[in-house]
Amino acid sequence: MIVGVPVESHPHERRVSLVPAAVPTLAKVGLEVLVERGAGKNAGFPDAAYEEQGARLAQDRIQLFSSADVLLQVRGLVANSEAGHADLELLRSGQVVLGLLNPLGVPDAARALAGRGVTAFALELLPRISRAQSMDALTSMATVAGYKAVLLAAASLQKMCPMMMTAAGTITPARFFVVGAGVAGLQAIATSRRLGAVVHSYDVRPAVKEQVQSLGAKFLELKLETEGTEASGGYAQAMGDEFYRRQREMMGQVVAESDVVITTAAIPGRKSPVLITAEMVQRMRPGSVILDLAAEGGGNCELTRPGETVEADGVTILGPLNLASTVPYHASQMYARNLTAFLQNLVKDGALRLNLEDPILRDTLLTHQGQVVHPQVRELLGLPASVPTTEERSSS
């Protein structure tokens, strides 16, 4: 089987789905790698590096798509609504597409993949089980985003982060407040502490308190009812408006005292909850910074503008998108390891092994044999829960 690695067509995307070091690993399971020229250039991986590891270079994108049995993408058609449709006509029935496809955010685009007869696997749907950890691209990319978020916030801050005792006097450390202690939040805490900041953190899930404290941060405990705040798989659960209203009231004082607030509360397929209101921003000191990692879903700050930097009442509010792409070399390395592990589970002796008793394959399978097959995505599309059989489809 031939694995194809195309140039990413999403605007501003600098990552590549497979790095040269992964080529020999795939060769061991009987896979040949075909790379579009320039695919890894923006991430720091030249064409020659792929050839040295045994990959072939495609003459152009058409040849790559026509030759590949499996296409590896960072942001496939569904997650790449701006430019991904240009590739739609190049896809063929039976071809496998693997990558970040944003099926819960843009479920309608899954129909297009199904219409081409593509078998698509969306890594966002990966189950939270120990065997799938090596394939968890969301965790990998959230790690990169949490790290970079702190660097951006610190660069915008008018203060230095660590405490310094100098001949010119003592400089007190900056105060960081990280809202949300998932993967991105925990990495933001760790990076903030490395810079010398005093860090507080809050999460609706009391169970993460020990993780926060282990990184040297102080866990903010609010007197809120926390039952039902954690969904299956360990993710935070979306709560009602009244819960968020009371949460904002209790967090207000900590936000006002912070030099930097980093928010990370994103909910797949839904608008991000507003945790920082305009009134709370007004109470912050001029020169303070808010970095909203949930900007893509509308933002946790009421004043966030996705993809922009704005200033309100002297406070700088950053709403970056696709932060992992701004650290493309290591983000690509981590992502390639995720895809390689997934392929090793999907392929045996160079042939596709679609074992739907395997929860990893069953849960990530988005489209197959002309149908959108994932139950949650079917529900979002208003389709019946069960996929019609071949007989039912032909009779209709």
For residue 236, the domain's CATH number is 3.40.50.720
Of the residues 257, 289, 321, which one is the last residue of a structural domain?
321
Tell me, yes or no, whether 333 and 316 share the same domain: no
At residue 237, the pLDDT reads: 54
How far apart, in whole angstroms, are the C-alpha atoms of residue 327 and residue 322? 10
Question: pLDDT 10s per residue in the chain (396 long)?
Answer: 999 999 998 888 999 999 999 999 999 999 999 999 999 999 999 999 999 999 999 999 999 999 999 999 999 876 666 666 788 889 999 999 999 999 998 898 899 999 999 999 999 999 999 999 999 999 999 999 999 999 999 999 999 999 999 999 999 999 999 999 999 999 999 999 999 999 999 998 888 999 999 999 999 887 765 554 455 554 555 566 777 777 777 788 899 999 999 999 988 878 999 999 999 999 999 999 999 999 999 999 999 999 999 999 999 999 999 999 999 999 999 999 999 999 999 998 889 999 999 999 999 999 999 999 999 999 999 999 887 765 455 444
Tell me, yes or no, whether 382 and 242 share the same domain: no
How far apart, in whole angstroms, are the C-alpha atoms of residue 204 and residue 211? 14
Pair type for strands 351-352 and 32-36 = unpaired
Nearest alpha-carbon partner for 261 in 318, 191, 309: 318
Of the residues 321, 342, 371, which one is the last residue of a structural domain?
321
At residue 226, the pLDDT reads: 53
- Tokens 């969904």 correspond to 231
Which helix (H) or strand (E) element contains residue 162? none
Question: Hey, what are 233's tokens?
Answer: 């798989």
Tell me, yes or no, whether 386 and 295 share the same domain: no
Note down the domain range covering 152. 145-321
- Phi, then psi, of 235 in degrees rounded to 5: -80, 155
The domain total for the chain is 2
Tell me, yes or no, whether 175 and 249 share the same domain: yes
Tell me, yes or no, whether 48 and 180 share the same domain: no
Tell me, yes or no, whether 123 and 163 share the same domain: no
Tell me, yes or no, whether 124 and 176 share the same domain: no
How far apart, in whole angstroms, are the C-alpha atoms of residue 78 and residue 105? 9
Pair type for strands 315-318 and 119-122 = unpaired
At residue 11, the pLDDT reads: 83
Tell me, yes or no, whether 279 and 342 share the same domain: no
Count of residues making up the chain: 396
At residue 224, the pLDDT reads: 61
Tell me, yes or no, whether 47 and 158 share the same domain: no
Tell me the pTM: 0.91
How far apart, in whole angstroms, are the C-alpha atoms of residue 178 and residue 160? 18
At residue 152, the pLDDT reads: 98
Tell me, yes or no, whether 361 and 213 share the same domain: no
CA dihedral (237, 299, 9, 29) in degrees, to 10, reads: -30
Tell me, yes or no, whether 128 and 10 share the same domain: yes
Tell me, yes or no, whether 7 and 87 share the same domain: yes
- Exposed / middle / buried, residue 93 (Cβ in 10 Å: 0-12, 13-18, 19+): exposed
At residue 222, the pLDDT reads: 78
At residue 241, the pLDDT reads: 72
Of the residues 321, 347, 377, which one is the last residue of a structural domain?
321
